[in-house]
């Protein structure tokens, strides 16, 4: 792994220090917050200019620079230039279609992963890419927009002065805490998706309308996306456990192993949910088929009931000699016979539970 880091470092030296142009849509203004801390010290503030972050590169304390909004290339390029980030990293930061992965460089590590969460008072799942730069004394996190699942990490930093693990350990533990918060929120997302599946299971049996199948397909699409986000993340965390980089210290390896176990559990839950969704689709198809069978039964029953009187009427309508055709009671006899056959058909069909 160390050799890989050297190879990447060589690539850095040979690559021009300008990132390729990227189409950037208009988005909200970039918001930058900084939390600088050690066991006895804490400084937290929002900076107005990106240059205010630069002094934290060489401070002996641990600094967490969080950037909400990656669509201002001016800000991203300034960060990249001052913190000596490779153009490949800058391109990956603003390209929000990246798969979760990890890359080792000479003096830092680049990690990208997908963050999924439900905003307060909303039923729409938010998906965004989070890029993390891990160095020896700082962590830089890039997010697409304001709003995240890191409030718990912030509270731990604020409240655990002199006694909390996060204030005593290094930047690698801070990076672990951010990854752990994202992975743990996958369980919250899965729980919400499971809650939305339960009423659909009832509807596919009681009232399988077209809106139900659309909801099931939307849920299935979300599960596919969640699976595509977690599978490569597990591999990235596994690579973090095997890395020989000095940025990841031995005490943090134990916690990364715990995150790896959580990602495995998330994957198992996703697979179980996919089986439930597939089962719900099968129940939907069966319900539609049963409803079609019921309609066919009713139509067949009506056809049989109408067919018998029609048969008698058609026979008596032919120009051939028939019994009772000259009798003054022929019409009454014919009508009684028709009604009798129709009632007989209704009785038989009801006994067979077709009506």
The rounded distance, in Å, linking the Cα atoms of 307 and 139 is: 82
Per CATH, which fold does 294-351 belong to? Methane Monooxygenase Hydroxylase; Chain G, domain 1 (1.20.58)
Of the given ranges (70-84, 136-150, 287-301), which has the lowest mean pLDDT?
A: 287-301
Residue 35: strand pairing partners: 44, 64
Tokens standing for 89? Answer: 């990293």
Give the whole-number percent of the chain exceeding pLDDT 70.
Answer: 88
For the cut 90, the answer to whether the pLDDT of residue 288 exceeds it is no
Fold matches, 2-285 and 294-351: no
Q: What is the pLDDT of residue 5?
A: 40
At residue 23 the predicted structure's pLDDT band, cuts being 50, 70 and 90, is very low
C-alpha torsion sign, points 295, 296, 302, 305:
negative
The DSSP symbol for 112 reads E
Instruction: Round the average pLDDT of the chain to a whole number and report it.
Output: 82
Cα atoms in the Cβ-side hemisphere of radius 13 Å centred on 167: 18
For the cut 60, the answer to whether the pLDDT of residue 141 exceeds it is yes
Q: Domain coordinates of the chain in residue numbers?
A: 2-285, 294-351
CATH number at 2-285: 3.30.460.20
* SS3 label, residue 115: strand
- Residue reference for tokens 């069909």: 349
Question: Which pLDDT tens digit goes with each residue over 265-284?
Answer: 999 988 888 888 888 888 88
The rounded distance, in Å, linking the Cα atoms of 170 and 174 is: 7
Q: What is the pLDDT of residue 110?
A: 94
Residue 98: strand pairing partners: none
152, 125 contact by CB (below 8 A): no
| For helices 210-242 and 250-316, angle between their N-to-C axes, nearest 10 degrees | 160
For the cut 50, the answer to whether the pLDDT of residue 13 exceeds it is no
Q: What is the pLDDT of residue 336?
A: 83
Tokens standing for 201? Answer: 């299971």
């Amino acid at each position: 792994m160390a050799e890989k880091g050297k190879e990447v470092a060589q690539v850095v030296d040979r690559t021009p220090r300008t990132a390729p142009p990227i189409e950037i849509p208009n988005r909200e203004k970039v918001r930058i917050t900084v939390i600088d801390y050690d066991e006895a010290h804490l400084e937290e503030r929002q900076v107005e200019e990106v240059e205010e972050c630069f002094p934290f590169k060489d401070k002996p304390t641990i600094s967490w620079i969080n950037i909400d909004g990656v669509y201002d290339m001016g800000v991203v390029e300034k960060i990249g230039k001052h913190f000596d980030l490779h153009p490949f990293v800058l391109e990956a930061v603003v390209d929000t279609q990246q798969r979760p992965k990890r890359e080792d460089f000479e003096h830092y590590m680049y990690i990208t992963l997908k963050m999924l969460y439900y905003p307060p008072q909303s039923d729409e799942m938010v998906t965004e890419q989070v890029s993390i730069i891990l160095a020896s004394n700082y962590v830089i996190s890039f997010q697409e927009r304001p709003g995240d699942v890191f409030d718990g990490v912030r509270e731990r930093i604020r409240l655990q002065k002199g006694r909390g693990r996060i204030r005593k350990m290094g930047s690698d533990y801070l990076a672990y805490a951010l990854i752990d918060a994202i992975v743990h929120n996958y369980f919250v997302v899965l729980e919400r998706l499971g809650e939305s599946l339960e009423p659909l299971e009832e509807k596919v049996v009681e009232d399988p309308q077209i809106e139900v199948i659309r909801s099931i397909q939307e849920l299935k699409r979300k599960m596919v996306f969640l699976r595509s986000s977690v599978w490569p993340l597990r591999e990235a965390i596994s690579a973090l456990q095997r890395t020989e980089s000095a940025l990841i210290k031995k005490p943090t390896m134990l916690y990364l192993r715990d995150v790896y176990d959580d990602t495995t559990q998330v994957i198992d839950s996703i697979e179980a949910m996919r089986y439930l969704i597939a089962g719900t689709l099968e129940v939907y198809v069966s319900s539609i088929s049963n409803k079609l069978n019921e309609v066919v039964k009713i139509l067949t029953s009506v056809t049989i009931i109408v067919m018998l009187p029609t048969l008698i009427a058609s026979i008596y309508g032919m120009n051939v000699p028939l019994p009772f055709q000259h009798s003054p009671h022929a019409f009454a006899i014919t009508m009684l016979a028709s009604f009798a056959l129709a009632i007989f058909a209704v009785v038989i069909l009801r006994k067979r539970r077709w009506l």
